[in-house]
Structure 1
Amino acid sequence: MSAKDLSVLVGVIMIVIMLIIPLPPGMIDFLIIINISLALIIILVAMNTEEALQFSIFPTLLLLITLFRLGLNVSTTRLILGNEGDAGNVIETFGQFVVGGNALVGFVVFVILVVIQFIVITKGAERVSEVGARFTLDAMPGKQMSIDADLNAGMISDQEAKERRTKIENEADFYGSMDGASKFVKGDAIAGIVIVLINIIFGLVIGMMQQGLDLQEAASTYTLLTVGDGLVSQIPALLVSTATGIVVTRSASNGNLGHDVTEQLFAYPKMLYVAGATIALLGFITPIQALVTTAVASILGVGAFLLERSDQQKVEEEIETEEEPKESEEEMTSPENVVNLLQVDPIEFEFGYGLIPLADANQGGDLLDRVVMIRRQIAIEMGMIVPVIRIRDNIQLQPNEYAIKVKGNEIARGELLLDHYMAMSPGIEDESITGIETLEPAFGQPALWIGEDMKERAELSGYTVVDPPSVVSTHLTEVVKRHAHELLGRQETKKLVDHLNESYPTLVEDVTPTPLSTGDIQKVLANLLKEKVSIRNLPVIFEALADYGQMTKDTDILTEYVRQSLSRQLTHQYAPDGGPLYVLTVSASVEKTVSDAVQHTEHGAFLGIDPNEGQKIIENTMAEVERMQQTGHMPIILCSPAVRMYIRNLLERYMPHIPVLSYNELEPTVEVQSIGVVNGS
């Protein structure tokens, strides 16, 4: 434990000692001076903080300082009433020197301090704390949405978004704490009044009944000491109350209180001339001494002149900076600035100027909110963190066009009509439904752009009617899913591994960095995503990698082992209701042809099938898939585990969306019905 931490603990222990054990006058004098010093430090720190969170410990500190001051009050009361009037040098000095030995004057000064603290400063600070806490809590949802919008627009990074969210939470906690802590200040002021009254009343009783003093002597002795104690206590309390008001009333700024006051109060030097002239005029038309008014007016005039000259120098420096463009030109041509242009965004969504209302919240656009939901949806469904989607307008596109890019390359394009709805037929055309023919961009199905007047009729006819924002959201979601394996790089994989390491450190340790590197894990996860297999269940995936990573470094083979370990997930994915699962099986002759064509090298295995035989397999598969689709079933190809990945590689170019499963990837409980066989001839 450091010396700073130990000093705080010792301070709390001293407070307890003050409440229980009588302390000598010399020790009380020392603690009183400490109390005044702490109060002075607190108000100076409060004045020099630029924002409230820089003094986040203030609510707790306020409680400790209040408790310390009350402990001092108990100790000083014990001295005043129980030590025959010897309350220490500091209290006596405040009673004699500060108020001139006049108890009545001292009592009046004390009452004024209490009124200022209790009615003006404490009451105001308490009200500002309550309002600040309520407004901060009310503003939290809007601030969170603003952060999400900036994150999705690419204006801030994930780390910056996390820091801003943490700051919002800390602000809410701080103002909530200040709302409660301000009650301590209020209670302290009330306690000060009660303690003074107790000291005066019981001081008279003790002086007259126990010490045999007459009323005048008892009143002079005990009242002066009580007023001195009250002033010693209330001056630090007033400073702390003022610091409370300063902290809770600070608005957003780039400087401390002193900087803000001088920067804003003296922002208009000409107003100082006006104020100085007014003060000087008072010296001539009123009985106020001209010497006083002239001195103040002169100070204001000189200050205005100096401020004007300072502002003029700033303007000249800015002009000189503008007249020297060489340095800025050198900066523009420096290698560092050129390097910044090489940044390529993982995902970009560009749109023509006619689609700006989609992204403009002021025009009712909710594209940014939809992008947030897309990222959450894919995180739940696919188990990957989608990078920030950069959204920008592009004047090179047609007004109603949009384009989606992955790593700088355009991979999808579409067109929207903002004042229309997209209607997709249920299979039975209704000739009364008319509109502009188009293709649904996500799945390429025929569709119509219809007007508002046709919307209700289309819905009654069984058409699926979708508004333009939903069309583009669906398209963007499908594009991200389709290219998820490209978006998952080593850096993203490292984040997933680090997240898993928080809950399963032993499991992660058994997989990486030995026997598998981050790159090996990334290739396995990318293989899964390429076939639309969710990687959300990372513990199961890593269990398989830990079991088989020692046996082989071939990431394709490791992927097959992982898929088999995810059999329950795959079964639920393709047979969510428990079956039956309708499939196309691969004949034994085709499996033997593929198996014999597999060639093994030191860099892994690959399929070297004869082109003619491969073409026949592809054509037969496409024919069976088409026949299966006509029966209303989703095509799924089922084969043995030994050839699954090779058949998938053979068919991928022609039928990328057709899933290929092996028998080991299905749960034994699922009912499988084969409605076709893939032959090689």
Structure 2
Amino acid sequence: MKMKDLSVLAGVIGIVLMMILPIPAWLLDVLLVINISLALIILLVAMNTKEALEFSIFPSLLLITTLFRLSLNVSTTKLILSEGEAGDVVATFGSWIAGGQIAIGFVVFLILVVVQFIVITKGSERVAEVAARFTLDAMPGKQMSIDADLNAGMINETQARERRQKVEREADFYGAMDGASKFVKGDAIASIIILLINLIGGFIIGMSIHGMSFGEAMSTFSILTIGDGLVSQIPALLISTAAGLIVTRAASDGNLSDDLSSQLLSYPKLLYIVAATVTMLGLLTPIHVMTTFPIAIALFIAARKMQSSLDRKQVEVEQLEEEQQIEEVRSPESVINLLQVDPIEFEFGYGLIPLADTQQGGDLLDRIIMIRRQCALEMGLVVPVIRIRDNIQLKPNEYVIKIKGNTVGGGELLLNHYLAMSPGYEDDLITGIETTEPAFGLPALWIDEAAKERAELAGYTVVDPPSVVATHLTELIKRHAHELIGRQETKALIDNIRESYPVLVDDLIPSILSVGDVQKVLAKLLKEKISIRDLVTIFETLADSGQYSKDPDVLTEYVRQSLSRQITQQYVQEGEAMRVITVGPALEKKIAESVQQTEQGSYIAMDPVSTQSIFQKLSEQVNRLIQMGQQPVLLTSPAIRMYLRQVIERSMQDIPVLSYSELEPNVEIQSVGVVNL
């Protein structure tokens, strides 16, 4: 065995022998001083630990020091009762601290016992009990967290093993502290009993054996008893305080002094308030100003120094952040951050800042929230967060809307004006700045507040600038919705519906279709402005049809047919006949003959002359319906619907192309035009 192991064993055996063998007074003085020194060391170490496990030996050390202190109590009791003395240390504590007054000594001793037993010991015992209980209850969750981090690759096996050992050690430590706190409580009770034994036994032995008078025996043994009690209770109080500090120590990056200075003294303004309060105590109460003013001045000076220190730290932090930003810009890795592209961006010139500034009455942010809600309800699409920023490169009243970094729309606004769109006839009395409505490209006027009421009475549609922006943004989101739904967004929709329909999702993905296949179908639906909110019906159709075909175009046609009620309500007014442009037999035959089948899917290959003829004849029918104030809808057979859509989507992407199977049987259809070759 090593020398330090032998010394520890010898020390424990010596503590036990102290209770049996007589100890001379000089050696007892040395041991009592060692006891006080050891208690101070334990208290200071407890104050400077960052977490409880740094002092994991404390429960065992608490037992040893308690046993050592009780052994000293037994030794001093033997000396007091046998010889009427207990060394210089006990006599000094009894006479010096008591100040020659036995009653004062008893009062001081009782105060120490009350503070240790009722306040510190009871509190430490309760905290240790609760900490042990919560630590044990939290062990399974901590173990699962470690396993999850290990499975995710956030930590390696060695780190996981270290964290598991730390969790186990915490549970063992707080469990041991829960039991060790009972020793502190028992030590306080034993001190009171030993005090009574020394006092009563000393009177009897002093008068019967040592031949002392009652007064002499009372004076001698009272001072020795008080000294013995104080010399044992002061170290006990220090160790009890250390136990309380250990069990109440929260996780921190610093020791007790660091936490006190960084947390308790981190609010200099509060010190000013305390200084003013102390000053008022000296002025308005009988407390002398010479007592309160120095304290108030000290608090005021401390607050000033703390404030200046905080200001210096703030400046240093800002300088450090600037230096880090400069270093990041200079570093080669900083280029990676430039590759990030926002899904949707709204940029505006400095003249339109009041639109987004809530302090100036701007409600653009609230309108964008409503746009996202509207798109979710109407289209079933979760619109990504729209980044709003000013751009000094734009004109003061100009704005642009970007999707994935590319400009898809823009316009100019005149704040303090209104956009007025005529109902089809012009009123010469209404004048303004001519412009074009950005969302639909209609001619319009910017009018001032004075002309607003007259324009409304004349039948003009009058909207304010924020509404113009909101309408334009909404239309562009709907037009480019298919670009905003990728695999990640599709996965989020799948996870959301999985909570209510887990069997449906598990049956479809990934056994029948992948996330990418589902995303292609949803994008094709959104591209033709078909809402995907009814994901249950869409997934049911894909689960059935996906067993026969993996072609996204074919799957989309099956889904559209299953959404016939939704599509019908989207294009048919209740109680009215549906006016459509139909496709003639010759054109249907021409399109069917032009379809080419490949391994990647089918597509239409038509000669340019026929394509141009289709565009020309379809444009004539569409323009005629638009002039009549009706929405043009192209109706064809299910077999060629998607191919006809491929033909016209580049030049007439806003014209809906429907098939007969996508409409409800009870819908009355009225053909107002035919497109044929």
Q: Does the alignment reach a TM-score above 0.5?
A: yes
Give the whole-Å Cα distance in 2 for the aligned partners of 1:626 and 1:287.
Answer: 95
Give 1:490's match in structure 2, choosing from 467, 475, 487: 487
User: 1:567 maps to what in 2?
Assistant: 564
Aligned to 1:262: 265
Report the counterpart of residue 665 of structure 2 in structure 1: 668
Counterpart in the other structure of 1:443 = 440
Quick one: percent identity of the two aligned structures? 56
- Which of the numbers 616, 621, 625 marks the counterpart of 1:624? 621
Counterparts in 2 of 1:330 and 1:562: CA distance versus 1, 3 Å: same
8 Å contact 2:416–2:448 — kept in the other structure?
yes
| 1:548 match | 545
1:384 paired residue among 381, 385, 390: 381
Q: CA deviation at 1:35?
A: 6.4
Q: CA deviation at 1:337?
A: 2.5
Q: Alpha-carbon deviation of 1:334?
A: 2.2
Q: Supply the distance in 1 between the matched residues of 2:497 and 2:263 (Cα, whole angstroms).
A: 48
Which residue of 2 is the match for residue 595 of structure 1?
Answer: 592
- Contact 1:578/1:670 (<8 A) preserved: no
Question: Comparing 567-576 with 326-335, which one deviates more in the overlay?
Answer: 326-335
| Residue 513 (structure 1) shift | 1.2
Map of 1:146 onto structure 2: none
Letter in 1 for 2:674: V
2:406 to 409, 415, 421: 409
1:601-647 Cα offsets, whole Å, 9 max, x none, are 01111110111111111111111111222233211000000100110
Q: 1:585 to 1:359 in 2, by over 3 A?
A: same
Question: C-alpha separation between the residues in 2 aligned to 1:579 and 1:508?
Answer: 38
SS in 1 for 2:389: strand
* Cα distance in 2, alignment partners of residues 348 and 287 from structure 1: 65
Task: Report the alpha carbon displacement of residue 576 of structure 1 after superposing the two structures with TM.
Answer: 3.6
User: What are the residue-to-residue correspondences of 1:350-429 with 2, within 5 Å?
Assistant: 350-429=347-426
Task: Say whether residues 1:643 and 2:640 are aligned partners.
Answer: yes
Question: Contact between 1:597 and 1:607, CA under 8 Å: does it hold in 2?
Answer: yes
**Closer, same or farther: CA 349–325 of 1 in aligned 2, 3 Å:** closer
CA-based RMSD: 4.4
**For residues 320 and 510 of structure 2, what CA distance do their matches in structure 1 show?**
57
Deviation at 1:452, TM superposition (A): 0.9
Spell out, residue by residue over 1:200-243, the C-alpha distance to the aligned partner (whole angstroms, 9 max, x if none). xxxxxxxxxxxxxxxxxxxxxxxxxxxxxxxxxxxxxxx9xxx9
1:104-139 CA distances to partner (integer Å, 9 max, x unpaired)? Answer: xxxxxxxxxxxxxxxxxxxxxxxxxxxxxxxxxxxx
Query: Is the Cα contact below 8 Å between 1:380 and 1:536 reproduced in 2?
Result: yes
- CA distance in structure 1 between the aligned counterparts of 2:262 and 2:130, rounded to whole angstroms: 15
Q: Structure 1's 316 and 392: CA in aligned 2 closer, same or farther, altered over 3 A?
A: closer
Q: Distance in 1 between matches of 2:676 and 2:314?
A: 84
Match of 1:459? 456
2:587 counterpart of 1:584: no
Aligned residue for 2:49?
none
Q: Would the aligned equivalents of 2:621 and 2:673 in 1 still touch at CA under 8 Å?
A: yes
Greater Cα shift, 33-42 or 501-510: 33-42
Q: 1:443 is aligned with what amino acid? A: F
Distance 1:601 1:262, change over 3 A: same
Structure 1 residues 34 and 633, CA gap change in structure 2 (3 angstroms) = farther
| Equivalent residue letter for 2:646 | N
Q: Specify the structure having the higher radius of gyration (Cα).
A: 2
Partner of 2:499, secondary structure, is helix
Equivalent position SS for 1:606: strand
Matched-pair contact (CA < 8 Å) for 2:614–2:675: yes
Q: Once the two structures are superposed, what CA deviation does each residue of 1:7-34 show, in whole Å capped at 9, x if it has no partner?
A: xxxxxxxxxxxxxxxxxxxxxxx99999
Structure 1 pair 587/33, CA: closer, same or farther in 2 (3 Å)?
A: same
Give 2:59's aligned residue: none
465 and 93 in structure 1: CA distance in 2 versus 1, 3 angstrom threshold: farther
CA offsets 1:17-54 (integer angstroms, 9 cap, x no match): xxxxxxxxxxxxx9999964466679999xxxxxxxxx
* Corresponding residue of 2:518: 521
| 2:400 partner letter | A
What is the letter of the counterpart of residue 679 of structure 1?
Answer: N
CA distance in structure 2 between the partners assigned to 1:507 and 1:618 by the alignment: 42
TM-score, normalised to structure 1, is: 0.57
Q: Paired residue for 2:650?
A: 653
Using the TM superposition, give the Cα deviation of residue 369 of structure 1 relative to its aligned residue in structure 2, in angstroms: 0.3
Counterpart amino acid of 1:427?
G
| Structure 2: runs of 5 or more not aligned | 1-116, 133-185, 196-243, 249-257
C-alpha contact 2:355 2:363 (8 A) present in aligned 1: yes
For the residue of structure 2 that corresponds to 1:455, the secondary structure is: helix
Is 1:604 the counterpart of 2:606? The answer is no
Any conservation in 2 of the 1:501–1:508 contact (CA below 8 Å)? yes
Aligned to 1:499: 496
Query: 2:269, 2:303 within 8 Å by CA — same for their partners in 1?
Result: no
Q: Quick one: which of 340, 345, 351 aligns to 2:342?
A: 345
Q: 1:263 is paired with a residue of what secondary structure?
A: coil
Cα distance in 2 for partners of 1:504, 1:612 equals: 50
Corresponding letter in the other structure for 1:636: V
Deviation at 1:326?
A: 8.0
CA distance in 2, matches of 1:562, 1:384: 17
Q: Check whether the contact 1:579–1:672 (CA below 8 A) recurs between aligned residues.
A: no
Contact 2:356 2:364 in 1 (8 A): yes
Give the whole-Å Cα distance in 2 for the aligned partners of 1:313 and 1:423: 56
2:495 corresponds to which letter in structure 1? Answer: D
Q: What SS does structure 1 have at the residue aligned with 2:606?
A: coil
Q: Letter of the 1:549 partner, please give it.
A: G
* Cα distance between partner residues in 1 of 2:493 and 2:270: 53
Aligned-residue offset at 1:655 = 1.0
Q: 1:535 aligns with which of 521, 532, 554?
A: 532
* Counterpart-to-counterpart distance in 2, 1:325 and 1:608: 59
AA aligned opposite 1:264: Y
Figure out how many residues of one structure are paired with residues of the other and give that number: 438
**1:225-374 alignment, distance < 5 Å:** 259-264=262-267, 329-374=326-371
What is the distance in 2 between the residues matched to 1:369 and 1:324?
32
Query: What TM-score do the two structures reach when normalised by structure 2?
Result: 0.58
| Alignment check: 8 A CA contact 1:572 1:578 kept | no
Asked if 1:472 is matched to 2:463, the reply is: no
Alpha-carbon contact 2:266-2:306 (below 8 Å) kept:
no
- Cα distance in structure 1, aligned partners of 2:320 and 2:421: 62
